[in-house]
Each structure stands twice: as C-alpha cells, then as structure tokens.
Amino acid sequence: MALPLPSAGRRLSPPVTDAQIVALQSGEITFWNHGAETIFGYDALEVTGRPVGSVLTIPRLGSAGSYRVEAIRKDGRAFRAGVVVEPFTSGSQAAVSIAVRDESRWMLFADVIGIFAEHDNFSQSAPRVAEVIGATLGFDAVAVWTLDEGQPHRIVWWSASGEPVRESGLVEGVIETGETATSKDAMVFAILDGALELFCAPGGDIETSARNDLARIAAAASRFRLRERNSRDLREAHETRRLASLGELAATMAHEFNNVMMSIATFAEVLKRKVAGDTQVQLAVTNIQQSLGRGRRLTEEILRFKRDPKPILSTIDVRRWLHDFTHEAQALTKGRAEIEAVDPLFIAGDIALLNQVLANLLINAYDAAPSGPIRIASTRLTLGRIGAPQPSR
C-alpha cells in the first residue's frame, strides 16, 4: 500500500537530491523516491515492503526528530547519513516520512586529514586515502603516484571492481608542470613529488564540487609530503602533536593546583597572625608555607615537562600563525575567542613554545572571565626611552 507524502507546508521539505522514504509505523517501506535509488542503489521495487531498518537504523521511528546514523548501500558499503523523521497520518493509517542525506562527502576532507594524522608517512596513508576518496565520490578507480629516482611510480591503487587500474597517460606531465590535467574519463591532480589519478565510472563525470574537494585533498597531501621530506620537520610534527595534548593537560593541572595552593596560603597567613605567640603553631605554619613553595616549583616543572631546553627559532608570520591557531583557540574557550590580526607582522620565535604560551593564556582568561568574548590581537610595538611599549605610528 503506497501512502502519500506529507502535505506541502509541513516542516520537512528536502531537495530532490535527498532520499525521501515513507514507511508505516511498523517500519514497512511504502514509498522510495529517485533520490533514495541514487543514494542507496536499490530501485523502488526492491525495497517496497521491506523494513526500513534493513537500510538504516532510526532510534525512534515514531517520533519526529533529526539524527545522524549509519546507513547501508545495496553493495554493502556503510555511509554516514543525516536523517529527518516526521510522523503523519493518511486517513486512519499512521506513517512516517523520512528524509535521508548522504553526509559522507561533506566529511571527506576531514576524513583524509584524519588518515594523514594517523600515519607517520605518506606511503602508509595512501591506500586508505585512495579507498576513502574512491568510495565516497563514486570513482571507478583511484591511484597514487610518487617519484622514485626521478621517475613516476604508482605506489598504490584502488578500484571499485577490484580489477587492476589502467593508466591515463597524464601523470608524468602533471608531475612536471604541477598543473591539473583531464581526459575523457580521468583527472590527475599534482601533489608534491607525485600525483593523484582518478578515473570516472563509464559515462560518468567529475562534478565541480568534487573537483574542489580533490584540489584541497591534493594540497593537503603536498603539505604532508613536505613535512615528511625533512627528518627534522617530521620530528617536530610528532613533537607538536604530543605537546598539543600534554600542554593543555599540564596547563590545566598547574592552574587548578595553583588555585588550591593560593587558598591554602591565604588561610596559612591568617593562622600565622592569629597565633603569633604559639611557637609550635608558628612552626607548623612555616612547614605549610615551605610545602606550598615546593608545590609552586612543581607546577613550574609540570609546565616545562618534556619541553626542549633550547627553542627552535624560525621566522613566523603572526597573522598566519594566529589564523592557524583559531581552531585550537575556539576549542580552549568554547567558541569565545576572537582573533584580530590584520597588519603584516613577522617575528622570530619557536612556534611550538608560542602555541603553548598562547594556550595557557587562553585557559587562564577563560577561567577568569566566565562570559563574554576573549580577544586575541596582534599589533606592532616600539620601546620608549624608559622601556615602556608604545604603539608605532
């Protein structure tokens, strides 16, 4: 029995590219539109009468709501889906309208960056990157190339059918020029000392949005390769990731510990004044204050934990540094950070240590000011005659 869709004017109004499904309260599918055929791979006749749970799991089928769930295509591949459920009635029959959007493409760039972060070198990450790109964007095949003794060498390939991947003949020219090249059924993007080669399914085409995603991925792959080229850069990348987690933990611990010690120190001083004539209590208070001193030194050691004794100086573009730090700043302040860095400004410094200093300042500012924006701004200062900083003109 087919049920009509919810009437116009109701809350749910998905675009035609979304899957639109109607099911009875019992879960039996009664309507399956073209968008659902495209996303899931089943035609309407194959799924009508089947339980909706065979293609996706909805926590509360009978209640209106929005969910992110895992869905299953006809070929067995899982994908992330955004789901909007709206109950309605047709006569005496209760049913639900379900809009499903394939969100896997929206997360493709983040997924690839996550794969890079999980591996120490590009070659280790390449097989998974090729698979994720091919499966998410629906390519027939994906291949990754690098230079080996100056010659292009295909280090990994993935194909939807599992069959060996053909060659487009474009790779060598792309590596030489650094420019993207296309043919009737293939596109090749340049990466540092290599290339990303993609083949469309027969009769297919690469959409503009997919081209943009692939260009960003190729740029990210180049950055990953550049970082890997020099052993020192690779070591610093490991150190930066380690300090990112340890630094936040250390700063938080030190901050909280200092708050505790500050309270103890205050009451110790009050006690010392009130019992000025009691020698034994005075001695006990002195011991407490000495212990507080050791505690303060401990917090200093925590903040220096695993930190290199000698900074690694480099020229830093302050505007770009603060821009790159925006994501971490927002995470540390729960979205309250506001960064202003307009004028070009270059300094010499250790970017890992500067990141740690800025993270500590943000944590302290967040704890000190429970509401309102936390502003980070850069400006050029000059020293006056007595050493006071003054804005330059």
pLDDT tens figures, 154-209: 999 998 888 888 889 999 999 999 999 988 888 999 998 899 999 986 666 666 66
CATH topology agreement for domains 19-102 and 108-229:
yes
The two three-digit tokens of residue 72, written as one number: 């299953």
Taking a C-beta distance cutoff of 8 angstroms, is the pair 30, 88 a contact?
A: no
Q: List, for residues 254-287, the tens digit of each pLDDT value.
A: 767 777 777 787 778 778 777 877 888 888 888 8
- CATH number for domain 309-393, candidates 1.20.1560.10, 3.30.1600.10, 3.30.565.10, 3.30.450.20: 3.30.565.10
pLDDT averaged over the chain? 80
**All structural domains of the chain with their residue ranges:** 19-102, 108-229, 230-307, 309-393
302-324 mean pLDDT:
71
Report for 96-110, 123-137, 194-208: range of highest mean pLDDT? 123-137
The pLDDT assigned to 235 comes to: 66
- Going by C-alpha positions, the residue among 291, 305, 302 that lies closest to residue 254 is 302
pLDDT at residue 208 in the model: 67
Q: Identify the pLDDT of residue 16.
A: 43
Q: Please report which confidence band the pLDDT of residue 301 belongs to, taking 50, 70 and 90 as the band edges.
A: low
Mean pLDDT for the stretch of residues 79-89: 88
pLDDT score, position 265: 77
User: The tokens 């943000």 sit on which residue?
Assistant: 362
What's the pLDDT band for 49 if we cut at 50, 70, 90? very high
- The CATH number that domain 108-229 falls under is 3.30.450.40
Residue 296: band (very low, low, confident or very high) from pLDDT cuts 50, 70, 90 = confident
CATH topology of domain 19-102: Beta-Lactamase (3.30.450)
